[in-house]
Amino acid sequence: MLLFRYNDYNYRLGFRYINMDRSSALLLPNFKFKVSTLSYAIGIACTYLALPVHAEDTTASALPTITIKAQGNWLEEANAETVHKHAGARTIIDRKRLDETAATSIREALKQIPGVQAQDSSGTGGSDVSLNIGVRGLASRLSPRSTVLVDGVPLSFAPYGQPQLSLAPVSIGNIESVDVVRGAGSVRFGPQNVGGIINFATRSIPQDFSGTVSLTSEYASGTDQVKLSPNLFVGGTLDNGLGLALLYSGTKGNGYREANNKIDIDDVMLKSAYQFNDKDSVASNLHHYEGRGEMPEGLTQAQYAENPYQSSGEKNYFAGRRTDVSLRYNHKDEKNNFEVLSYYIDSFRTSNLETTLANGQKRLDSAPRDYKVYAIEPRYSRIYELGNTQNEVTVGYRYLKEESSEFAGRTASYAAGSSVPDFAPRSSSEGGTKAHAVYIDNRMELGRWTITPGVRFESIETHNNFTGYNKGQPNTVYPKIDSDEFLPSLSVMYSANENWNIFANAGVSFGPQQYSQLARLEGTTATATTKGLHPEKSNNYEIGTKYLGNGLNAEFTVFYLDFDKELSLVRDAANNGIWTDLGATSHKGVETGISYDFGQLSDALEGLKVYGNYTFTKAVAEAGQFKDKDLPFYSRHVGNVGLGYTVDKWSLNADMFAQSKQHSPDLPDSNVYQTEETADGKYGDIPGYTTFALRTSYDLSSQVKGLKIAGGIKNVFDKQYFTRSTDSTGGKYVGLPRTFYLQTSFDF
């Protein structure tokens, strides 16, 4: 009970903090980040946090003497204990939890994490090959503001110039854990991470030879269609220290729309590792992903009322491939941790998007794109003592080079059902980025306190030679931009005891301009936009507490993001994508998460677990015509509650997910904040909804060693809900109907 009393107290303090008078220097929209101001903010936070500690029984036993070890790479071998000791909001979902909650997609896994909103497929992010992640009220379409990694390697086409995930080469079947760092990460991981760092750790090479074969079958009751997800994992380690593992995850079949939603994904990874001795090791990953997802179009208001599952856009699809190879060397001893990570990424994506014009004619757009990325990242950490403090200093460097080649073509208009004319070029571009980054942070432990100041310096050179075509005649602009940015941070953590800590942090996140933000078409003319748009910059603040022990894992965080200029992608009257400057915005809110094992109370309750999370977010414009209005496509309230029970060979799980309404307010060439639904289905409020899920599993190992079977129902009560999209395939998109699934697996 003491814990919850402290939590309530911290909630009051945190809410006072994020709602302090805007005239304060700390929260001015255009406030320039200064170390003195940062120190002031952290000092206030720590003063507040220390207050409940004074109420603590002074006779309580002191913490044991702490001897810190070189932590090195935060993301390596992350578990509940290392997450607990992170001085910022951070949540990890491991393989066991993924299995217990029957997460059959990346989106379902992310919905269990506070602060994260994983949107359903819609628009040009409308299939299983794409990923739409929004963190703390940030835009979710194709996940542009989170650094998304697989085993520490960027998942996006190009981390600086093209961070979107219209093609997301990651599959739930190959994942060991999902690790989301929402605070105190900008120094280590650089730009494009105002929405945090999301790392998908793939399944580890086993010590002994073993493997798993599994198949998940999904049946959508709305359209009676089936989707299959086969998985294979096999590997082991030889006596000489050489380890090998093969991972395969696929998705085959159809979604829940009546047409044009076929999915075909193959995701293969070959992992190898060699342990030279107890201190030195080398590991390499070879990864290849190919995916093609047909995309049903958004529906108008009338079409949705007639049949929400219909689709006529039979030509719409996204497809692509990615091959990446990474090599990692690591040295660990009691005082030192040295790592070198190098990776090369070669990716290609293309799309066909059909648009219905006002006159009823059709038009087809195509956009093939190539990207190549090379990077090397050395990192060194060392333990040292200074006076009565123990310290870990980490220095790191990254060199990254990108090359991009993009093309956009469009046909002339044609009648529905007729042959499609040839593509004519609209634009092409040849872009590239060279980026150098250096960083240093120092983790200092002084008694119960852990203080970590740090700073990162990014030097970025980006160009995009952009060509527009007017009746085949090219016109070219050559915009480029250089960015030199310091990204300071400071985090403080107080360990009240071995189980409970309190933290606060502040830092700066930076988003350099993407290739599409350097130039665009105006009619048929190539136009540079370097003077009209600016890189994004945000000052980020957190204060929170975490508890881990005695069967309880709980977290509570208050956050505040202060953007001076936030960019948004809108559509003009001709349905062309245009980046615009929203001006100052603020994102504030509260994140909570909890899980509890009732077996800690009584043997009779062994196997009974409960888990849940809740996030309140208020993301609004601080300037412009929509001042104090909500930003589009996020929910103020999002929650997830689940109950699991394991007895003998049976396992049962029940889950509820809920989110409040969202907004889609922007009308081209209009000053109206649209709340009523428009006829095309693109604009207007989106109602909130609640869905329920059930799962049961049985271990058949007593009959057939290693055999397990599970089945369940998603959206048990067949709740009909929808989202919207405002892009070239925009309109209303129905959500997942009642869906039955069967999972079989065999461990060997």
The confidence score (pLDDT) of residue 2 equals: 35
Q: What is the mean pLDDT of residues 684-688?
A: 96
Q: What is the mean pLDDT of residues 154-171?
A: 92
604 Rama class: left (phi>0) / alpha (psi -120 to 50) / beta: alpha
Q: Residue 578: is its pLDDT beyond 80?
A: no
The confidence score (pLDDT) of residue 695 equals: 95
The confidence score (pLDDT) of residue 56 equals: 40
**Strands in 276-386 per DSSP E:** 280-294, 317-332, 336-356, 362-366, 369-386
d(CA 619, CA 662): 11
Token pair for 235: 């590997």
Q: How far is CA 447 from the centre of its chain?
A: 35
pLDDT bin (cut points 50, 70, 90) of residue 13 is: very low
Average pLDDT, the chain: 87
Strand partners, 204: none
pLDDT bin (cut points 50, 70, 90) of residue 709 is: very high
What single DSSP character describes residue 600?
Answer: G
Q: What would the pLDDT profile of 192-247 be if each residue is shown by its tens digit?
A: 888 889 999 999 999 999 999 999 999 999 889 999 999 999 999 999 999 999 99
* Cα 685 to Cα 154, 232, 618, distances in angstroms: 34, 43, 16
The confidence score (pLDDT) of residue 140 equals: 85
* Length of the chain in terms of residues written: 748
Q: What is the mean pLDDT of residues 506-533?
A: 88
Q: What would the pLDDT profile of 74-102 be if each residue is shown by its tens digit?
A: 888 888 898 999 999 999 999 888 888 87
- Model-level pTM? 0.88
Q: What is the mean pLDDT of residues 322-327?
A: 98
Q: Are β-strands 133-135 and 116-118 bridged in parallel, bridged antiparallel, or unpaired?
A: antiparallel
The confidence score (pLDDT) of residue 576 equals: 66
Strand partners, 694: 654, 713
Residue type, 602: S
Q: Which helix (H) or strand (E) holds 13?
A: helix 2-18
Q: Residue 532: is its pLDDT beyond 80?
A: no
Q: Residue 455: is its pLDDT beyond 90?
A: yes
Are 545 and 50 in contact by the 8 Å Cβ rule? The answer is no
Q: Residue 15: is its pLDDT beyond 60?
A: no
Strand partners, 711: 696, 742
Q: Strand, helix or coil at 399? A: strand
Find the range with the poorest average confidence among 83-92, 96-105, 262-271, 314-323: 96-105
d(CA 168, CA 321): 10
The confidence score (pLDDT) of residue 22 equals: 34
The confidence score (pLDDT) of residue 623 equals: 82
Ranges of H-type helices in 123-233: 186-189
Q: What is the mean pLDDT of residues 645-658?
A: 94
Q: Residue 35: is its pLDDT beyond 80?
A: no
d(CA 571, CA 563): 22
Closest to 272 (Cα-Cα) out of 281, 280, 264, 263: 281
Q: What would the pLDDT profile of 602-623 be if each residue is shown by its tens digit?
A: 999 999 999 999 999 999 999 8
Residue type, 143: S
d(CA 560, CA 586): 7
Alpha-carbon Rg for the chain in angstroms: 26
The confidence score (pLDDT) of residue 67 equals: 60
The confidence score (pLDDT) of residue 726 equals: 87
The confidence score (pLDDT) of residue 54 equals: 38
Token pair for 90: 């951070």
Q: Residue 354: is its pLDDT beyond 80?
A: yes
Token pair for 394: 């980490």
Q: Residue 18: is its pLDDT beyond 60?
A: no
The confidence score (pLDDT) of residue 10 equals: 37
Q: Strand, helix or coil at 247? A: strand
Q: Residue 572: is its pLDDT beyond 80?
A: no
What single DSSP character describes residue 414?
Answer: B
Strand partners, 346: 323, 372
State the residue for tokens 């909500």: 630
Are 477 and 485 in contact by the 8 Å Cβ rule? The answer is no
Q: What are phi and psi of 228, to 5 degrees?
A: -115, 140
Token pair for 411: 């046909």
d(CA 723, CA 720): 11
pLDDT bin (cut points 50, 70, 90) of residue 533 is: confident
d(CA 323, CA 269): 10
Q: What would the pLDDT profile of 123-138 be if each residue is shown by its tens digit?
A: 777 788 999 889 999 8
Q: What is the mean pLDDT of residues 465-486?
A: 94
The confidence score (pLDDT) of residue 366 equals: 94
SS3 assignment for 492-550: EEEECCCCEEEEEEEEEEEECCCHHHCEEEECCEEEECCCCCCCEEEEEEEEEEEEEEC
The confidence score (pLDDT) of residue 73 equals: 85
Are 104 and 172 in contact by the 8 Å Cβ rule? The answer is yes
Closest to 18 (Cα-Cα) out of 600, 480, 619, 610: 619
Q: What is the mean pLDDT of residues 414-418?
A: 87
Q: Burial, 106: exposed, middle or buried (Cβ in 10 Å; 0-12, 13-18, 19+)? A: buried
Q: Residue 270: is its pLDDT beyond 60?
A: yes
The confidence score (pLDDT) of residue 573 equals: 60
Q: Are β-strands 317-332 and 567-571 bridged in parallel, bridged antiparallel, or unpaired?
A: unpaired
Token pair for 102: 């029957």
